[in-house]
Amino acid sequence: MHKEPLALLPEICLLVGAVTTLLAGSFLPRERQWGARLVATAALVAAGITAAVALADPARTVYGGTFAVDTATGAVRLVVAAATLLVIGLGVDELAGTRRESETYALLLLGALGATVMGSTTDLLVLAVAFLLGSIPLYGLVGMLRSPGAAEAALKTYLLGALFGILLLLGTTVLYGLGGATAYAGLATGLEGAPVAALAVGLLGVLAGLVFKAGGVPGHFWVPDAAQAAGTPAAAFLTTVPKVGALVAVFRLVDVLPGSADWPLLVAVLAAVTMTLGNLAAFAQSDVRRLLGWSTVSQVGYLLLPVAVAGRTGEALPALLFYLGAYAVTNLAAFAVVAAVPDRRGLEESRGLATASPWLAGALVVALLGLVGTPPTAVFVGKLTVFTAAWDGGLAWLVVVAAANTVASLFYYLRWLAPVFRRPEEDAGDGGTRPFAAVAAVLAAACILGLGLAAGAVLPLLDGPLAR
Amino acid sequence: MTLQTVLLVAAALFCVGLYGAISQQVVVMVMMGLELMLNGVILAAGAFWWFLSPAPDGQVLLLVVITAMTVEMAMGFAVATLLHRSRGSDMTDMATDLSR
Amino acid sequence: MTALLWALVVLPAVVGALLCGAGRRADRVAPAVAVGTAGLVLAAAIAVAVSRPAVSVPFLPGADLGLAVDALTAVVLPAVAAVTLLVLVFSAGEITGARGRFFGLMLLFEAAVALTTVATTLPALLFAWEVMGATSYALIAFSWRDPDRVGAGTTAFLTTRAADLGLYVAAGAALAGGAGLGLDRLADAGGPWLDVVAAGVLVAALGKAAQLPFSFWLSRAMEGPSPVSALLHSAAMVAMGGYLLLRTAPLLAASGWADDAAAWVGALTAVALGAVAVAQRDLKQLLAASTAAQLGYVVLAAGVAAVSGGAAHLVAHASTKALLFLAAGAWLSALGTKQLPALRGAARRWPVVGVPAAVGALSLAGVVPLSLWASKDEVLAVAREHSLPLYVVGLAGAALSAAYAGKVLWILWRRPPAAAESGYDTERPGTRQVGGLQQAPLGVLAAGAAVLGLLVWPPVGTAIRTALGETGLPRPSVLEMVLSAVLAVGVVLAVGRLPLPEPRWAAGWLGLGTATQVVAVRPVLRLAEALARFDDRVLDRSVTAAAVAVRGAAGGFARFDDRVLDRAVEATGTGGVRAARGAAVADTTGFDGAAEGVAAALRRLGDLLRRTQTGQLHQYYVQAAVVLAAALALLLLTR
Amino acid sequence: MVDDIVFWGLAVVAVASGIAVFRVDSMARATYALAVSFVAVGLALLLFGLDYLGVVVVLMMVMEMAIMAIYMIMFMGMNPALMPMSMVHGKRTSLAVAGLTFAVLAAGILLVDWPERRGAPAADLTLAVGRAVMGGKMLVMMTVSAVLFATIVSALVLALPRGRYDDDPADEAAS
Amino acid sequence: MLSLIVFLPLAAAVVLGAARALPDAVSRWTWLGVTVAELALVAVLVAGYDTPPDGGLAWEERLRWIPSVGSSYHVGVDGLSLPLVALTAVVFCACAVHALKDARRPRAQAALFLFLQSTCLGLFVAQDLILFFVFFDLSIVGMYFVIAGWGHGGAARSALKFFLYTFLGSLALLVGFIGLYLAADPHTFDIPELVAAAPLADDAVAGAWVLGAILLGLAVKTPTVPFHTWLPPAHTDAPAIGSAVLAGILLKMGTYGFVRIAMPALPDAWQAWAWVVLTVGVVSVLYGALVALAQTDVKRMIAYTSVNHMGYVLVAVGAAGVVADGAQEARELAVTGAVTQMVSHGLITSALFLLAGVLHDRVGSYAMADFGGLAAPAPRYAGLFAVGAFASLGLPAFSGFVAEFQIFAGSIGATWFAVLAVPGILLTAALFLRAYQRLFTGPTAGRAEGFPDLRTHELLPVGGLLLLSLLIGVVPWPLLDLIAPAAETVVGLVSR
């Protein structure tokens, strides 16, 4: 029994932060909720710092083998904390002074907590609970706007989440029955020689739940709707943070499965289908947030590449972690631009952005080209490592599919960029920009480039063993 | 009462629930379908615990399932309320603005 | 001395380039500068002809730029330099507009010719060779406002360049054959490569020398100014074709077939183009055809390895023909015509032009004891040794040359008709005067035309033969010389009495130009147009179609789609019309159809994919179930 | 033997009432049917010796169904007894999907070569679960507490139209 | 030193991009100043270059960058890259001069071109595949904005097509690079290490696939038939200086990739597939020339001649892979010719595009039918265009001849098949003469009337470029001395 509360310090920071934020918010008048924001920010910073400190610890599990403290956990914590901070940064303008400001922060923190736990746990039971912890704040965040669209998106997110949650529980049950344990360490041995058909049902159940969180096929239906209808910070959050936890969780799970069936092929096929669907569906969108929603679906496809070769090549884990970080900051940069110019929701309305606010246009260029994977942005290095890992793991065909998809994706990103640099229409009113979001956008764009250029320094840090 | 029979019953419950979840239009009824699916999972979990591996993990698993059921149900009510208030309807068919 | 060798090439090149670059600003000084430069070049040419320097500088890897003067060069180079000088002096009186450009180009040309004569490696040769072609283009098209003249330049350049491809190929083959790129070592190429080298050189030389079947370009080249015709298209550039063959005679011999081929092409050209010349009514056209015919002897000489005779003929012909072209030019500028009937009696009107022209014509006819008589017999003697038919054909050519030279002679010296003025000014308004600068060179050239036969007689001829190492070659017998002399005189006299036939096939230069148009130029242009259409419509459209498909796959975005679809429809429309006109692309439908099919399939797939996002929750449930079932099947089937 | 009979009885009740959920013509009745189904499963758990959990299930579900009924009356303004309803779509598809799923699952259940039972239940199951919860699986319960907290916040945010600052009715009108 | 050369324009671009209030004139002159400084730096580079022994690199710099994927910031120059670096500096300087009077958003334009310059220089000095790829992709991005932002006609569409097409190529390239990386043991992206290791030497199938991917990527960029269809619209709608850079520098990235990466790193595959390259080269030569012959739009025509000229390069590198009966010398000559052709084409075609741009600047049309007898109102323009056209058709005394002679002599020396490409030079001659005839000679007609002659800022860059071409054409050995040892190394490597 390794009960080491200190090992969970970042998570504790988040939880305490969530409670404190809510409490602080309930005592503060509506105009002065920046106090709650401060608390939330402080909690995230604290979580980040403690996570960074914990990186130095040796890889091990705590709490009876249910929670891994290793490189992957550290990366998830850091990425989640940083991403959530960015979300708060880009959402300040939209949230400040609203009725639900402090609740939003609390839910963001809880969602972040769910993502970290999900990415760090090595026990199916904790995973199931973490799924709930990750999902429930999302429903709240999606529906927060209370507009008809938001309500619809919340409904769909919720109903899909409930179904896939049940599938996750079903899978957990079956795997438990077959393996006699719920911790991965036990499963790794217990599942040896288990009947493949039953194992497949169990794995599929768990995988389905996690794919829902990640927003991949077949659990992707909620993503574009939520991205379109939810508030911008919520949309940014739910297309970014849950994926981080979910994909690492999938990685950990696939890593312990016995080789009695071709799991990698399944994941590879899902990856291919996901990226193709995301890209093809994004083509014709005219609402930038829906477009971004589909784009995140396609990104999940790329992110599944290293998962498909988990355990077959040592490069898979660092590739995944790096891509996650790169993706998070890039996606958030794009959303930050959207948040900064809330009036420009359609592609055509982006016209003349370069003239109106060149910095934002620059950030958008960096973000979108980053999503494409143009060097020297972070996602480029991510794609490079991911492609390399996939090829090394024997999935060269998937690399080709991914490359072809990348070309296809370029098309809709460029469709967004093209009007940005066109001259604005004469009578077009300038809706103005929101300062915090603009700063967040530029900051994130800088991070994209910085992370891309400093990839050499970051990548070795991500190369650590998985604790089981 | 063997593992297979119990599992068959669980599967039956699960599939009845699935039918409900897919076929019902009213949100609350869809939720009932989902509940029924969970019901099947509970039964299966019990069976697995009893027939295959009676470790304490199984009991905790049951606890988790029950918790999940409760929590999801609460969220379901909240979402249904939200839908009802903002769109004046509690039917999933009426909420199809977001598509394509 | 190597400095002089360089000066020979670099001096005219630099001065010429400067004059060209300066354009109109140099118009006033250009003639003086050019004549001065040409004088210096002539001096240098004589100096190097005596001192025989050689030099080599790095140019390309494994292929240096080699320059040297040997016996052959020593004969040809001063002659060319001298003719150039004289032509430039004439031009100073003849050319009135854009002198900077004209004299600059002439000097550039001289530099190229000088380099050609002294080149010892293929890169150096090809370098000069192509520059000659380009300056020829620029000079023929000197009056660029006239589209015909520009077209003539284009024809000349393209035809000679087509032949020049032979040199490129020869260079590659020489490398492949292990011979290196030295001209003197080409014969060492091994195996089949030797044949390729020989063929390449032969084709290039025949093209430049306007031999069959390339002769037609020379006809059109006559649209250039007369000094240009005099220098480029008789004395220098065309002659360089023959010169190259003389220089590479060992290569031709080594190949075993190229020498015979060259000999026969030369002989046949002498006859065929002789006939063409006889049929001409335009003085310059006649002279042009005659040039090709006379160079036939040089080529024949190269084929039978009569290098000294060939060189002598080349030099003598250069002097003779330059003289005649200049005379024609003088009359053209004075009377405004070069039509023979209109020129009747022109020699009587300006004896100062007419007398040298008469000397030239007599030399051309092969009348004793003028230069071409001697040099031609020198060549024919070796040809007879080689093969009797060759000799007979050559002799027939000689008779034809006497015929056309006689034709010119008689017309020029007949009494002018009363209504002479009415025939004048058909080409341009004549000045009715011949300036001193135009007259002076004629005398010198006439002297050359008369006495250059010395090049084959002892002692000069013997010295040259010794220098070239041609000791064992047969010399013309007295009988042969008498025969040819009698033939020449007889034909010339006969021409005075009898009207010459002017068959259309000969008047039209054997239809070679038309044939080229029909066989080569038009098909290529057709092909180009068809390919361009193919490129625009098939290659490009299949890409566009793919793009449309992918875009269509996404549906929506109306504006974009509209534009693309519109354009596609439009393109299909125009495409249909053009295809109806008989576009050459046979497989358009297949190729395009396939592309369209793929496109349509992709579009459908995309629509289908996006249609999955129905907004209906229960359908999401069903889809998720289906996907998971498929995944389960995948897992169970592939294990 | 007795166990078998009891189990089959419960099984029939559970499935039948499950089916009834979607067959009865009012939502309130459906709720009751669902509760019955849950109670049957809860009782079945007792057969496996899971006394504690069985009771928990029964109690929880009864409570929950009560809440559901109240909810329907309070929030949706329905009279649970008198609202006849048949609101289904894609009945055939649903049947097919459910039927096929059942076929697949049943085939799997019957064909799979299930492993042997390993180990024996602990003597005191309730103690064992307590130990697990406070021991090796402590993190589960720690996370569950966070989940409950998140649920409260989230559900309130969604369900309550007004926030704490309900002095501003304009907001609600606007939203 | 190399880093300074590469990143100086980038730094200037950042400054220009950030300084919003900068007057137009200042940004133009800053741009020019930076390019001149670059030129000076490159001159120092060339002056200090001494062919390193054993095919090594000069001015080498290597820093850790992404060690975990075997990628480092590794730059260096040799005889293959130095000429292209110099070419880049020259062409960009010419563009800066040409744009001195350009009124359309000069600050942004200057920043963008400086950025492009950095990427081009970076690509040519990169000795690491990832670094190479980074610059490769960034150049596409930069060019996209150049075409989309400063183009005319259907610029947005052409730019999109350009981007999509070349991006497809770049991804194929990336896939190929990854294949190389994984095949090397230990895994590395370092070009010299890969070249030394020649991975995939014993795996013909994998080698073919990797080479195929790399070839596809480079072929799109070069471009060769049938991947060239992005080129004509891109050129037609690009601004003059954009076309100059696109044709002068960006196309070279493809051909440079052949000699830098594909040939030395995959010798066996290259030998096995050389005939494909050769065939594509021959087809490109003839096809490009023929299609250009039929064009009625000047800029399109020049664009197609690029396909033709790049085809020569392909013929040469293809022939270099035909390792047969010891025609080592010929193959070296061919590769030297190929590199010379890159430089030559860069100079000449840039000049021609700058000249063609003048047409559009003046009267907004490139259609030959709109002009006639231009030589009368614009003699300087006519003269320079004539020089450019003759240089482009391979007239001796210009660099094109030096390049083409070597390519033909070398390629034919290596394989007879290359003979098929020879008619290309006749066709180019025909097409240039026809075009020249239509545009400049004859009676002055159409929009040619009152056509203003070249102004100084237009004259200088074109004149300078053509003068350089002349210099190389007359005294080629300084350049060839630079290239030949490197070509020898490449041929030696590909013959392994």
Q: Which chain D residue's Cα is nearest to C624?
A: D97
What is the mean pLDDT of the segment spanning E79-102? 93
Q: Is residue C529 helix, strand or coil?
A: helix
Residue the block writes with tokens 């439908």: C589
Model confidence at C594, pLDDT cuts 50, 70, 90, reads very low
What's the Rg (C-alpha) of chain D? 22
Taking the C-alpha atoms of residue E379 and residue E473, their distance in angstroms, rounded to an integer, is 24
Q: Is the CB of residue C615 less than 8 Å away from at least one CB of chain E?
A: no
Extents of the domains making up chain A: 5-462
Residue A374: which of E67, E137, E182 has the nearest Cβ? E137
Q: Which residues contact C192 (CB under 8 A, 6 or more apart)?
A: none
Closest residue in A to E163 (Cα) is A410
C442-451 pLDDT, tens digit each: 999 999 888 8
pLDDT in tens, E429-446: 999 999 999 899 888 888
DSSP letter at A349 equals G
How far is Cα of residue C455 from the mean position of the Cα atoms in its chain?
28
Q: Do D104 and C629 touch (CB under 8 A)?
A: yes
Res D173 pLDDT > 70: no
- Amino acid letter at D82? L
Q: Which of C614, C617, C620, C621 to mutate: most D Cβ within 10 Å?
A: C621
Cα A404 from chain centroid (whole Å): 23
Q: Is pLDDT above 90 for A428? A: no
Q: Give chain C's mean pLDDT.
A: 84
The pLDDT value given to residue D165: 64
Q: What is the pLDDT of residue E336?
A: 93
Q: Do C618 and D101 touch (CB under 8 A)?
A: no
Tens of pLDDT, residues B40-73: 999 999 999 988 888 888 889 999 999 999 999 8
The tens digit of pLDDT for each residue in A94-140 reads: 888 888 888 999 999 999 999 999 999 999 999 999 999 999 999 99
What backbone phi and psi angles, to 5 degrees, belong to A123?
Answer: -140, 135
Q: Are the beta carbons of C172 and E395 separated by less than 8 Å?
A: no
* Distance between CA atoms of residues C270 and C383, nearest Å: 13
Q: Is C97 left (phi over 0), alpha (psi -120 to 50) or beta?
A: beta
**Considering CB atoms only, which of C611, C615, C618 is closest to B22?**
C618
For residue C46, CA distances in Å to C39, C73, C75 come to 11, 11, 9
Q: Render pLDDT for C377-415 as a digit per residue (tens, 0 to 9).
A: 889 999 998 889 999 999 999 999 999 999 999 888 888
* Per-residue pLDDT at E383 exceeds 70: yes
User: Beta strands C54-60 and A67-69: pairing type?
Assistant: unpaired
B65 contacts chain D (CB < 8 A): no
Q: Does pLDDT of C595 surpass 60? A: no
Residues D1 and D67 placed together within one structural domain of the fold: yes
- Contact at 8 Å (CB) between E242 and E151? yes
Q: What are the chain E neighbours of C535 within 8 Å (beta carbons)?
A: 229, 287, 291
Provide the number of structural domains found in chain D: 2
pLDDT for res C556: 39
Q: E442-466 pLDDT, tens per residue?
A: 888 888 888 888 899 999 999 999 9
pLDDT over 90 (residue E309): yes
Chains D and E touch (3+ CB pairs under 8 A): no
Q: What is the mean pLDDT of chain A?
A: 90
Q: Is the pLDDT of residue D102 over 90?
A: yes
Q: Are residues D75 and D133 in the same domain?
A: no
Contacts of C148 (CB under 8 A, 6+ apart): C223
Check whether C582 has a pLDDT greater than 70.
no
Q: Which residues contact E215 (CB under 8 A, 6 or more apart)?
A: E176, E262, E273, E276, E277
Q: Would the CB atoms of D140 and A66 count as touching at under 8 Å? A: yes
- Parse chain C into domains and list their residue ranges: 257-507, 522-621
Judged by average pLDDT, the poorest of A131-140, D11-20, E229-238, E304-313 is: E229-238
What pLDDT, on the 0 to 100 scale, is given for residue E342? 95
CB pairs under 8 A between A and E: 82
pLDDT value at D76 more than 70: no
CA distance E471 to E344: 11
Bigger pLDDT: D63 or D84? D63
Give the pLDDT band (50/70/90) at residue C601: low
Domains of chain B: 3-90 (1.10.287.3510)
Q: Is E327 on the interface with C (CB under 8 A)?
A: yes
Preferred mutation among D105, D158, D172 to probe A, highest tally of A CBs within 10 A: D158
Smallest CA–CA distance, residue E129 to chain A, in Å, is 11
Buried b / exposed e along B81-100 (16+ C-beta atoms within 10 A):
bbbbbbbebbbbeebeebeb
Domain span including residue D175 = 124-175
Q: Do B64 and A129 touch (CB under 8 A)?
A: yes
Give me the residues of C, 144-203, that contact E with CB < 8 A: 144-147, 150-151, 153-154, 157-158, 161-162, 165, 168-169, 171-176, 181
Same domain, yes or no: D139 and D66: no
Rg (CA), chain E: 21
- The pLDDT, as a whole number, for residue A456 is 85
Distance (Å) from the C-alpha of residue A352 to the closest C-alpha of chain B?
27
Spell out the long-range contacts of C190-194 with Cβ–Cβ below 8 A and sequence spacing 24 or more. Answer: C194/C251, C194/C254, C194/C255
B96:C616 CB<8 A: yes
Q: Mean pLDDT over residues E18-24, rounded?
A: 84
Query: Does residue D99 fall inside a structural domain?
Result: no
**Average pLDDT score over residue span A270-294:** 89
Location of structure tokens 């020898």:
E488
- pLDDT tens figures, E391-424: 999 999 899 999 999 999 899 888 888 999 999 9
Give, in degrees to the nearest 5, the angle at Cα D174 between D170 and D175. 120
- Indicate yes or no: CB of B78 within 8 angstroms of CB of A139: yes
Say if residue D11 is in the same domain as residue D74.
yes
For B99, nearest residue in chain C (alpha carbons): C615
Establish whether this prediction's ipTM goes over 0.90: no
E2, E26, E117 from E114: Cα distances, Å:
16, 15, 5
Closest partner CB to D101 (pick from C618, C619, C625)? C625
End-to-end CA distance of chain E: 33
Rounded to a whole number of angstroms, the distance from the CA of C567 to the nearest CA of chain A is: 19
Q: Does D153 touch chain B (CB under 8 A)?
A: no
Closest CA to A217 of C444, E373, C628: C628
Residues D1 and D75 in one domain: yes
Q: Which of C145, D42, C332 lies closest to B38 in space, CA to CA?
A: D42
Quote the pLDDT of residue D170: 45
DSSP string, E331-372: HHHHHHHHHHHHHHHHHHHHHHHHHHHHHHHHHS--BGGG--
Q: What six digits make up the tokens of C396?
A: 């027939």
Chain centroid to Cα E291, Å, comes to 20
Contact B80 D75 (CB under 8 A): yes
Find out whether E301 and E295 touch, Cβ atoms under 8 Å. Answer: yes
Of the candidates C618, C626, C629, which has its C-beta nearest D89's C-beta?
Answer: C618
The answer to whether D110 faces chain A, any CB pair under 8 Å, is: no
Query: Which tens digits make up the pLDDT trace of B19-40?
Result: 999 998 888 889 999 999 999 9
- Residue C66: what are its φ and ψ, rounded to 5°? -105, 135
- pTM of this prediction? 0.89
Residue C574, pLDDT above cutoff 50: no
Helix extents (H) in E364-476: 379-392, 399-414, 423-440, 456-474
In this complex, the residue of B61, B72, B87 whose CB is nearest that of residue A182 is B61
CA of A139 to nearest chain B CA: how many angstroms apart? 8
Please tell me whether the peptide bond between C53 and the residue prior to it is cis, using omega within 30 degrees of 0. no
Helical packing angle, E81-98 and E24-47, nearest 10°: 160
Contact call for D90 and C629, based on CB within 8 A: no
Q: For residues A296 and A223, is the Cβ–Cβ distance under 8 A?
A: yes
| pLDDT, position C583 | 28
- E strands of C395-509, at which residues? none
